Amino acid sequence: MPIELVFTVAVQGILTGLVYGLMALGLSVIFGVVRVVNFAHGEMMTIASYAAIVAFGAWNIDPLVAMVPIAVILFAVGYMLQAVLINPFINRPEHSQFILLAAVAIIMVNGLLMIFGPDARNVLVDYALDSIEIGPLLVDKVRVITAALALLIAAGLFAFFKLTRTGRAIRACADNYLGALVVGLNVKKLYALTFGIGSACVGAAGAMMTLLIDTTPNLGPAFTLQAFVIVIIGGLGSMPGALLGGVLIGLSEAMSGLFFAPSAKTMFGVGILILVLLFRPQGLLGRKI
């Protein structure tokens, strides 16, 4: 096998992995702060994807532009979800929270199925087939753009959590729930804000994803699982970990597609997950549990 091909596929995998990373970043932020596992994460991403497809089909808006309003809409959806449904469940046992979000996920997947049907849809922008030459490698233009945007959004998020007052307040809630209450933070509102931010991430990722893959309603559960795999590999609650996990999964998918069968790609991701859970359960970049 020519070495250029291997490198090209690897680079493509890493670039796709950064978009996966952005999706997983949303999940990681939510779990890190709210301590609720969002079982509807992939489903929220497919909602964003369909929004991008509709925007392109109806008004010919490029998904990379539509991404901004879609992220805002998903922010509102996430904020409401936390404020209305999840906040009353904060002190309930894990399996209750799980059922709540599983129910939300079932409604989302099948709602999309009712509206759009089971067929795969995609967005064909005029630069979809362009590629960029990097030395001897030929890389898809859309992958380079989406990966760069994913990195940019992630950087913005890091800055928000490090530098702004609200970001610091949210981190305080994550570190010490009781302490945050004592110093007078409105924890429930900050939780809703966090869920909104995580949802906005997944919204942006969903809009970008339409340029990379075909969308069907059934992608939702698959991407929920994918996001879990990534986040646990990187470390639940660790933001750089989510990006690293995304890149690893993107790379392993690309490599397994090249060397084995593309249908076996999830097995490698899940295999890495099992190894990580057993030997470093806090994840590659996570803090000790």
Partner 1 sequence: MISRLVDGVPRRALILLGLFLALLLVAPLLVDGYILSILILVLYFAYTGQAWNVMMGFAGQLSLGHSLYVGVAAYTAAALYVHFGIGPWAGVWLAILISVACGLFIGFLAFRFGISGVYFALLTIAFAEFTRVGFDHFDWVNGSGGFFLPVTQYSVNDPLNLRGAPVMFYYILLAITVLAFLFCRWLLTGRIGYYWLAIREEPEAAQTLGINVFRYKMIAVAISAGMTALSGVFFAFYYNNLFPEQIFSMSRSIELILGPIIGGIGSLFGPILGAVVLTVLAESVTEIMHALGYDIPGIKQVFYGLCLLVVIIYLPNGIWPPLRKRLGLGDHS
Where on the chain is the footprint of partner 1 (CB under 8 A)? 37, 85, 88, 92, 94-96, 98-100, 102-107, 109-114, 117-118, 217, 221, 225, 228-229, 232, 236, 261, 263-264, 266-267, 270-271, 273-274, 277-279, 281, 289
Coil, strand, or helix at residue 62?
coil
Task: Compare residues 63 and 217 and give the one whose CB is closer to partner 1.
Answer: 217
Task: Compare residues 97 and 146 and give the one whose CB is closer to partner 1.
Answer: 97
Amino acid at 74: L
β-bridge pairing 131-134 and 137-140? antiparallel
From the CB of 34, what's the least distance to partner 1, in Å? 12
Task: Compare residues 192 and 233 and give the one whose CB is closer to partner 1.
Answer: 233
Task: Compare residues 270 and 284 and give the one whose CB is closer to partner 1.
Answer: 270
Task: Compare residues 92 and 141 and give the one whose CB is closer to partner 1.
Answer: 92
From the CB of 96, what's the least distance to partner 1, in Å? 6
CB count, 10 Å around CB of 71? 22
Among residues 106, 111, 107, 90, the alpha carbon closest in space to that of 37 is found at 90
Task: Compare residues 102 and 258 and give the one whose CB is closer to partner 1.
Answer: 102
From the CB of 91, what's the least distance to partner 1, in Å? 11
From the CB of 115, what's the least distance to partner 1, in Å? 9
Task: Compare residues 11 and 236 and give the one whose CB is closer to partner 1.
Answer: 236
- Residue 86 DSSP symbol: I
From the CB of 53, what's the least distance to partner 1, in Å? 17
> Burial letters for 221-260: b for 16+ Cβ neighbours within 10 Å, e otherwise?
bebbbbbbbbbbbbbbbbbbbbbbbbbbbbbbbbbbbbee
Question: What is the CA angle 280-177-75, rounded to 5?
Answer: 85
What does the alpha-carbon distance between residue 194 and residue 181 come to, in Å, rounded to a whole number? 16
- Residue 287 DSSP symbol: P
From the CB of 237, what's the least distance to partner 1, in Å? 11
From the CB of 81, what's the least distance to partner 1, in Å? 12
